[in-house]
Amino acid sequence: MVADRANSVVETLIANAEKTAEVLTENYEKFVERFKANESLLSLLEENYNRTIYALGTGLVETAFRVSSAAIDKIAMMGYRAECYYVSVTLGNQVFLIDPIIIIDD
């Protein structure tokens, strides 16, 4: 089914982003511990970490949206109705809303 395939792709995207965020967070925390006495460096590290997590999350949101939208269009061409529902995904210290698909029976 189209929705199942799209949702599987979205789930894989989420899992990959979560793994990446975990590695980024572990590295960030190691650097924070190592340079805890240098406030200006810590500030730069935090800014870079937040920016990187944000880029990872927004990339995930955009890619998942494209996958879901294409699947919804295909489902509509088949005569069915589907829509997205949102799930929250935490990456590092930020939360993003991702949109898998659900089929709506009329």
Predicted local distance difference test score (pLDDT) of residue 106: 47
pTM of the model: 0.88
Residue range 62-91: mean pLDDT, rounded: 92
Report how far Cα 40 is from the mean position of its chain's Cα atoms.
30
Give the C-alpha distances (Å, rounded to integers) separating 88 from 5, 10, 39, 100: 20, 13, 32, 11
* Two structure tokens written together for 32: 């924070």
Radius of gyration of the chain (CA): 18
Q: What is the pLDDT of residues 38-68, one digit of tens each?
A: 999 999 999 999 999 999 999 999 999 999 9
Residues paired with residue 104 on neighbouring β-strands, in sequence order: 81
